[in-house]
């Protein structure tokens, strides 16, 4: 891979219906919506916003951005 390749800070957008609003526990794991994998926070945030806004009528539905790059390299300093 060339040294000039842009850094990928992988983010995963997932969502689904929660058991209750006080916890991040999905009601049915078989129905979790895996929206996609994104190379940076900005594109993940755009996908998250679109999915969250499309489900605004369901109060139990929540979408999340998972910072996969932090899981892949836990020693990496967070970007500021």
pTM of the model: 0.81
| Residue 77 burial (C-beta neighbours within 10 Å; 0-12, 13-18, 19+) | exposed
CA distances to 16, 33, 36, 76 from 42, in Å: 21, 20, 13, 19
The pLDDT assigned to 74 comes to: 67
7-21 residue pLDDT tens: 789 999 999 999 999
Each residue's pLDDT tens digit, 50-72:
999 999 999 999 999 999 988 88
Listed by start position, the domains of the chain span 1-24+39-61
Q: Let me know: does 48 contact 13? Beta carbons within 8 Å.
A: yes
Tens of pLDDT, residues 20-51: 999 999 999 999 999 999 999 999 999 999 99
Is the dihedral angle over the CA atoms 49, 50, 52, 56 positive or is it negative? positive
Give the pLDDT band of residue 77 (cuts 50, 70, 90): low
């Amino acid at each position: 891979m060339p040294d000039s390749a842009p850094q990928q800070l992988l983010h995963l957008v997932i969502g689904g219906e929660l058991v209750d609003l006080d916890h991040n526990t999905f009601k049915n794991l078989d129905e979790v919506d895996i929206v996609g994998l994104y190379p940076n926070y900005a594109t993940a945030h755009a996908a998250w916003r679109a999915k969250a806004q499309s489900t605004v009528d369901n109060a139990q539905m929540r979408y999340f951005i998972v910072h996969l790059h932090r899981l892949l390299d836990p020693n990496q300093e967070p970007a500021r």
